[in-house]
Amino acid sequence: MGYRAVAVFTILAVTFLSVSAKHAHVKSNKLCNLYEGEWVFDNSYPLYDSNKCPFLIQQFNCSGNGRPDRGYQKYRWQPHNCNLPRWNGEEFMRRVRGKRMMFVGDSISMNQWQSLACMIHGAFPRAAHTTRRLGLLSTIVFPQFNFTLMYSRNAFLVDITKEKSRRVLKLNKIGGSVKQWLSSDILIFDTWHWWLHTGRKQPWDLVQYGKVRLKDMDRMVAYEKALRTLTRWIDQSVNTKRVKIFFQGVSPDHWNATQWGKPELQRCSGERQPFRPEMYGGGRNLPESILENVLGAVRKPVHLLKITALSQLRVDGHPSIYGNPRKIGMDCTHWCLPGIPDVWNQLLKETLIRS
């Protein structure tokens, strides 16, 4: 069943459920949209302790960096018509034993990778592990489970090549990474945040599509072209019976506080609670629409983790001033750990054990 078919099915199932639930209080996990729901305070969270997880980098260690409140670690995601099962490390490990899993993407991908490593460590605190970093590839192995958990840093997914000292972003080429990706059994892709960078933070000088080279182009158009290159490769070359493919949906940021009725310059600073759904005026997320649209045209099974809307509500989940202490300033893009990416991984697990 292609992505679109799954989406249509889900909408039908949810429509049916919301009608019948009113009458019979039906709660069925089979017919349920896990992505529609609300955040509920739950004192039994978090799933692990930031002081004990050996994989956590300082940038996400908000409590260790002095963040005084802990509420952000204690919300659980409650879908409207069913429950998202609590994280169960044994169940996850049964599914991934002997497998290689790779997150490919930018630092938000690393955020989710670290969260998953900490969730595994929280479930099996005595499990041995080895870590290694080689260039842009970081690897954690849990020998007891013969499980390899990797993060490959790759902000655009398509290639950037250097030609006559100019860096060219090639929207229709992914040759550079494919072999590494295909050595995995489970791939979770993510790209978005770097597409908007300009000036010194822009790591390319020219952008190329086919034979056309430009100084710049509409970033949304470029993003869509790159995604189409990736999905074309999936359709043409990936044996999805062997390699399961996921996309992390677009992770929202919270830089502009006028969107929730506060002075713009406040950013996400001082926020202690999630929004109620009606409080957020940020509207639809354009890159997420593009991603859904592109994945909708894929013939092979590819699963999108639709984390955008549920994460939009978590204005309280960012490091703000408790991120990387060596960099002055604010971070309203990444997420504190324990925190929101833990829920993304619960959703990943639920999808994985059903596929």
Active centre residues (catalytic)? 107, 331, 334
Instruction: Report how far residue 265's alpha carbon sits from residue 35's, in angstroms, rounded to the nearest whole number.
Output: 30
Residue 196 touching ligand NAG (CB under 6 A) = no
| Residue whose CB is less far from ligand NAG, 2 or 64 | 64
Instruction: State the Cα–Cα distance between residues 53 and 50, nearest whole angstrom.
Output: 6
Total site size for ligand NAG, rule CB under 6 A = 13
Residue type, 86: R
Which one of 14, 47, 56, 298 is in contact with ligand NAG (CB under 6 A)? Answer: 56
Cβ distance to ligand NAG smaller for residue 53 or 307: 53
One symbol per residue from 226 to 265: x for binding ligand NAG (CB under 6 A), - otherwise; what is it? ------------------------------x-xx----x-
Q: Which is nearer to ligand NAG, 150 or 207 (CB)?
A: 150
C-beta of 51: minimal distance to ligand NAG in Å?
5
Looking only at residues 112 through 171 of this chain, which bind ligand NAG when binding is defined by CB under 6 A? Answer: 146
CA distances from 270 to 52, 68, 257, 330, 335 (A): 26, 10, 11, 11, 14
Spatial distance between the Cα atoms of 226 and 223, rounded to a whole number of angstroms: 5
Nearest to 230 by CA among 238, 220, 218: 238
Nearest to 243 by CA among 189, 184, 296: 184
Residue from 33, 50, 111, 114 in contact with ligand NAG (CB under 6 A): 50
Q: Smallest distance from the beta carbon of 139 to ligand NAG, in angstroms? A: 12
Other CB atoms within 10 Å distance of the CB of residue 272: 11
51 near ligand NAG (CB under 6 A): yes
> Contact, 299 vs 2, CB < 8 A?
yes
Chain center to CA of 53: 20
Q: Residue 238 CB, nearest distance to ligand NAG (Å)?
A: 18
Q: Which is nearer to ligand NAG, 159 or 331 (CB)?
A: 331
- Closer to ligand NAG by CB, 161 or 256: give it: 256
Q: Which one of the spans 51-59, 78-86, 160-168, 314-322 is the region binding ligand NAG (CB under 6 A)?
A: 51-59
Question: What values do phi and psi take at 283, rounded to 5?
Answer: 75, -170
* Residue 266 C-beta: closest distance to ligand NAG, Å: 12
- In whole angstroms, the minimum distance from the beta carbon of 32 to ligand NAG comes to 32
Binding test (CB under 6 A) with ligand NAG, winner from 14, 32, 34, 53: 53
Specify the residue, 1 or 134, whose C-beta has the smaller distance to ligand NAG: 134
**Shortest Cβ distance from residue 4 to ligand NAG (Å)?**
31
The stretch near ligand NAG (CB under 6 A) out of 47-55, 82-90, 204-212, 313-321 is 47-55
CB atoms under 10 Å from CB of 334, counted, come to 24
Query: According to CB under 6 A, which one of 22, 25, 98, 242 is a site residue for ligand NAG?
Result: 98
Map tokens 């590839």 to a residue: 137
Nearest to residue 48, comparing CAs of 341, 292, 284, 332? 341
- Residues 203 and 155: their CA atoms lie apart, in Å, by 10
Tell me the C-alpha distance between 248 and 104, whole Å. 10
**DSSP output for 54-107:** TT--GGG-TTTTT----GGGSEEEEESSS--PPP-HHHHHHHHTT-EEEEEESH
Q: Which residues contact ligand NAG (rule: CB under 6 A)?
A: 50-51, 53, 56, 61, 64, 98, 100, 146, 256, 258-259, 264
